[in-house]
């Protein structure tokens, strides 16, 4: 441990002192588990007291490739020593290669690079509105975008304006008009709601923050047909489901459809650097002219070099196949736990949710107990424990985890 602390010049603090600093000086917009992490490698992280944990959150699926993957870190360091930021006022030698590689891997035609997931969402909102006016003939100012209950697309004013989570909106009004929210998975309601002014439908293939909600089989195929028939842009937010999390490169592959616009972020850098991207056919992103949209850091060479390696690692090291192979193994292991607290265990690939009955008293206390047993999980929507380890997890790691998770979920610890 001393080696790691020696990297900083200050004397190390203890857990309570680090927490006290955050509480005193930081905005209190999170309620983290009281574990202070200092190091990570693969599926494992260590706290400042030297305790080791299996990471079953993966930074909300940003760390799919595992913590501090050596090839990604190497790409980061090398590029950092060459060139980090040019702004888009000039070109750089990483951007075009990133575009080509990400397009080839995802069968896309065009890319728009941004930094955070929310910025990618904001970017498509602008793009589909402009497309609606310029290409579909919707009267200026009338474009409507349809989203769904329990959605999560980020935290900007525009995005929380069509959230159905009360806390995300509380105290932040007024919001941006032009959105309609419909029940997720109800095709008839969607079909009825579409008008000639509907320019886009925005959905997550599986709702992550919403509680690992998987829509009915065939739902997205019908949504795709509706979009084709009514000339509506289908936007899939794959910021959490994409890049191997569900056992495919993109979760849309499970549905047998292709979105018009796909959003990726999070694992695009393997948790090393903020980068997101809008992947598109030519028609929609083609509406942007020079000056219409931009970002100082978007598409910077450091982000591009990191993302190129993060994508290569994901593919070359078989992480997507590992997610497809071991996801069902982990799921079956969790489903075999007999507990009066568990309502349902569901998932796809290594994106798994354990939904508890309301009488269990909430998911958070279970996450606290799992933490004491060396497993870091995060509750979502009060009653759901999300289990989403890095995609480099092994069968042995899963067996290790199940031995510890079972007694906690059974209420024995």
Interacting residue ranges for ligand PLP, rule: CB under 6 A: 60, 116-118, 121, 152-154, 204, 208-209, 237, 239-240, 265-266
Least Å distance, CB 265 to ligand PLP, is 5
Compare residues 255 and 397 and give the one whose CB is closer to ligand PLP.
255
- Alpha-carbon distance values, 157 to 121, 124, 168 (Å): 12, 15, 9
**Minimum distance from residue 230 beta carbon to ligand PLP (Å):** 24
* Residues 183 and 147: beta-carbon distance below 8 Å: no
CB of 274 to ligand PLP, least distance (A): 7
Q: Which is nearer to ligand PLP, 116 or 323 (CB)?
A: 116
How far apart, in whole angstroms, are the C-alpha atoms of residue 104 and residue 228?
24
266 catalytically annotated: yes
Q: How far is the CB of 128 from ligand PLP (least distance, A)?
A: 16
Which is nearer to ligand PLP, 247 or 274 (by Cβ)? 274
Contact between residue 258 and residue 107 where contact means Cβ atoms under 8 Å apart:
yes
Q: Which is nearer to ligand PLP, 58 or 309 (CB)?
A: 58
Nearest CB to ligand PLP, comparing residues 161 and 208 = 208
Instruction: Using alpha carbons, select from 386, 357, 380, 389 the residue that is nearest to residue 210.
Output: 380
| Residue 32 dihedral angles phi and psi, to the nearest 5° | -70, 160
Is residue 52 flagged as an active site residue?
Answer: no
Q: How far is CA 321 from the centre of its chain?
A: 19
Q: Looking at beta carbons, which residue is closest to ligand PLP?
A: 117
Identify the three-state secondary structure at position 321: helix
User: Can you tell me the distance from the alpha carbon of 97 to that of 308, in angstroms, rounded to the nearest whole number?
Assistant: 8
Q: Which helix (H) or strand (E) holds 225?
A: helix 219-230
Catalytic residue among 130, 248, 266, 378: 266
Q: Is 366 a catalytic residue?
A: no
Closest contact distance (angstroms) between CB of 57 and ligand PLP is 12
Contact status, residue 152 vs residue 207, Cβ threshold 8 Å? yes
* Two tokens, residue 185: 């998975």
Beta bridge partners of residue 353, listed in sequence order = 346, 386
The neighbour count for residue 338, using CB atoms within 10 Å, is 9
Q: Decide: 313 and 72 in contact? Cβ < 8 Å.
A: yes
Write down the catalytic residue from 47, 130, 148, 152: 152
Query: Could you report how far apart the first and last alpha carbons of the chain are, in Å?
Result: 29
Nearer to ligand PLP, 302 or 360 (CB): 302
Report which DSSP code applies to 134: I
Identify which of residues 154 and 211 has a Cβ nearer to ligand PLP in the complex. 154
Rg (CA), the chain: 22
Q: What angle do CA 268, 273, 276 make, to 5 degrees?
A: 45
Instruction: Give the SS3 label for residue 361.
Output: coil
Least Å distance between CB 207 and ligand PLP? 8
Q: Which of 55, 237, 260, 379 is an active site residue?
A: 237
Element (H, E) at 305: helix 301-316
CB of 153: closest distance to ligand PLP in angstroms?
A: 5
Output the smallest distance, CB 125 to ligand PLP, in A. 12
Of the two residues 152 and 219, which places its CB atom closer to ligand PLP in the complex?
152
Active-site positions read 152, 237, 266
């Amino acid at each position: 441990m001393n080696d790691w602390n020696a990297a900083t010049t200050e004397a190390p603090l203890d857990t309570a002192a680090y927490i006290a600093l955050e509480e005193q000086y930081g905005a209190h917009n999170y309620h983290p588990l009281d574990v202070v992490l200092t190091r990570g490698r693969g599926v494992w992280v260590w706290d400042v007291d030297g305790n080791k944990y299996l990471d079953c959150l993966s930074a909300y699926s940003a760390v799919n490739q595992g913590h501090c993957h050596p090839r990604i870190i190497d790409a980061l360091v090398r590029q950092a020593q060459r060139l980090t930021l040019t702004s888009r006022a000039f070109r750089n030698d990483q951007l075009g290669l990133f575009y080509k590689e990400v397009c080839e891997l995802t069968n896309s035609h065009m890319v728009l690079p941004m930094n955070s997931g929310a910025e990618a969402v904001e970017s498509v909102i602008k793009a589909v509105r402009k497309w609606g006016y310029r290409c579909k003939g919707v009267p200026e100012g009338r474009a409507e975008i349809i989203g769904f209950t329990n959605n999560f697309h980020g935290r900007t004013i525009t995005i929380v304006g069509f959230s159905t989570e009360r806390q995300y909106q509380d105290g932040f009004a007024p919001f941006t008009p032009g959105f309609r929210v419909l029940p997720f998975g109800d095709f008839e309601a969607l079909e009825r709601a579409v008008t000639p002014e509907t320019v886009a439908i925005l959905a997550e293939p599986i709702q992550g923050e919403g509680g690992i909600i998987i829509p009915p089989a065939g739902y997205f195929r019908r949504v795709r047909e509706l979009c084709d028939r009514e000339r509506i842009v289908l936007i899939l937010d794959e910021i959490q489901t994409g890049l191997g999390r569900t056992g495919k490169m993109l979760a849309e592959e499970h549905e047998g459809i292709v979105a018009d616009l796909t959003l990726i972020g999070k694992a695009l850098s393997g948790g090393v650097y903020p980068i997101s991207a809008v992947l598109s056919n030519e028609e929609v992103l083609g509406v942007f002219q020079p000056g219409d949209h931009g970002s100082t850091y978007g598409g910077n060479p450091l982000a591009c070099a990191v993302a190129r390696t993060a994508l290569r690692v994901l593919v070359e090291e078989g992480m997507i196949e590992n997610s497809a192979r071991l996801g069902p193994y982990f799921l079956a292991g969790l489903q075999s736990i007999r507990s009066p607290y568990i309502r349902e265990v569901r998932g796809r690939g290594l994106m798994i949710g354990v939904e508890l009955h309301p009488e269990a008293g909430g998911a958070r206390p279970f996450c606290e107990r799992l933490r004491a047993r060396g497993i870091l999980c995060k509750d979502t929507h009060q009653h759901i424990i999300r289990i989403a380890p890095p995609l480099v997890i092994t069968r042995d790691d899963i067996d290790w985890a199940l031995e510890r998770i079972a007694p906690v979920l059974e209420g024995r610890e």
